[in-house]
């Protein structure tokens, strides 16, 4: 059945170190503003009773406790960097509750890295209950889960090809500094875009804030949030300086959007 709404929660808005950075005394790291306290990048999409997680950050357990997440029905992986993957073992807690394996999705390359880096999960069949139970599902084009149309969006993260994802009126494009024209074509008519905007200084593999604003204006979503933020970025100081319709993301931020029927009718859900 097609869910009527998509509910989005920003689980983490921080770069790979998280903010505060260990041992740093800068004003952002010492800030008491909760919007400056950033766990590693991740988002949750709730569609009716199903929860779809984007990436398994090393802060997954804390994010799940903070947001009272009790089930994960699928995981979409953007790429295999540690800050997006290394909370994978925390999926075990959800297996123990549901007694079901969790399907995980990503490019063939990303899932190969998941399998290689966490071989104990896929090889240790002697100890069921002590490792997460996951089912690998490589994807390269549009599919659907629980009535939600999902389009992988190919992006460049330095020289590494990665995926963003579009789910109906929402797109999540973390860890990138290049969006091919063929991918821009997949991003028209968005209500909400979450986009990598690391920091002010340029970076070899991430959009900085000026680059992110430029590409966000080209994509033209109704609202854009910049994520994967470093401790250079001070929410109360810098958020008001961004153009209208573009803001800084923060942990725990929530949105809800109607899911248009026309977008899901031609698709069949891959899971019951
Ligand atoms: Zn700092
Ligand atoms: Zn990365
Ligand atoms: Zn990252």
Domain ranges for the chain = 5-257
192 alpha carbon to ligand 1 midpoint, in Å? 29
80 CA → ligand 1 middle, Å: 25
Sequence-distant (6+) residues with CB within 8 A of 132 are: 88, 89, 91, 92, 95, 102, 121
Residue 22 has pLDDT above 50, yes or no: yes
Ligand nearest to the CA of 228: 3
Give yes or no for residue 128 having a pLDDT over 90: no
Ligand nearest to the CA of 230: 1
CB atoms within 10 A of CB 8: 24
- Residue-level pLDDT at 271: 43
pLDDT of 225 strictly over 70: yes
Please tell us whether the domain made up of 5-257 is placed in CATH 3.60.15.10. yes
CA of 28, nearest ligand number = 1
Distance 199 CA to ligand 2 centre (A): 14
- Residue bearing tokens 């921080």: 14
Q: What is the Å distance from ligand 3's center to 272 Cα?
A: 32
pLDDT band at 129; cut points 50, 70, 90? confident
- List the shell of residues around ion ligand 1, using CB closer than 5 Å: 21, 24, 26, 29, 231
Give the predicted TM-score (pTM) of the model.
0.94
What whole-number distance in Å separates Cα of residue 160 and Cα of residue 145? 26
Average pLDDT, the chain: 94
pLDDT of residue 241: 98
Report pLDDT for 261.
Answer: 52
pLDDT digits (tens, 9 = 90+) for 235-272: 999 999 999 999 999 999 999 999 875 444 333 444 43
């Amino acid at each position: 059945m097609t869910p009527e709404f998509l509910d989005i929660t920003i689980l983490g808005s921080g770069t790979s170190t998280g903010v505060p950075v260990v041992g740093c005394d800068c004003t952002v790291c010492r800030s008491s503003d909760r919007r400056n306290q950033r766990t590693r990048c991740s988002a949750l999409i709730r569609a009716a009773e199903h929860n779809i997680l984007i990436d398994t950050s090393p802060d997954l357990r804390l994010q799940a406790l903070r947001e009272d997440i009790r089930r994960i029905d699928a995981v979409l992986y953007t790429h295999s960097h540690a800050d997006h993957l290394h909370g994978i073992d925390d999926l075990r807690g959800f297996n123990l509750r549901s007694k079901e394996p969790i399907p995980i999705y990503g490019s063939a390359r990303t899932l190969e890295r998941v399998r290689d880096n966490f071989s104990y999960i896929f090889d240790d069949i002697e100890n069921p209950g002590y490792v997460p139970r996951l089912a690998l599902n490589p994807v390269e084009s549009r599919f659907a889960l629980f009535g939600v149309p999902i389009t992988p969006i190919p992006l460049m993260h330095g020289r590494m090809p990665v995926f963003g994802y579009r789910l109906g009126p929402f797109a999540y494009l973390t860890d990138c500094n290049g969006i091919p024209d063929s991918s821009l074509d997949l991003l028209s008519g968005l209500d909400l875009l979450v986009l990598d905007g690391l920091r002010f200084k340029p970076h070899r593999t991430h959009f900085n804030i000026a680059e992110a604003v430029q590409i966000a204006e080209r994509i033209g979503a109704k609202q854009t949030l910049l994520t994967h933020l470093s401790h250079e970025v001070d929410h109360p100081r810098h958020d008001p300086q961004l153009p209208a319709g573009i803001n800084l993301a923060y942990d725990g931020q929530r949105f809800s959007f109607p899911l248009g029927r026309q977008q899901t009718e031609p698709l069949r859900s891959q899971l019951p």
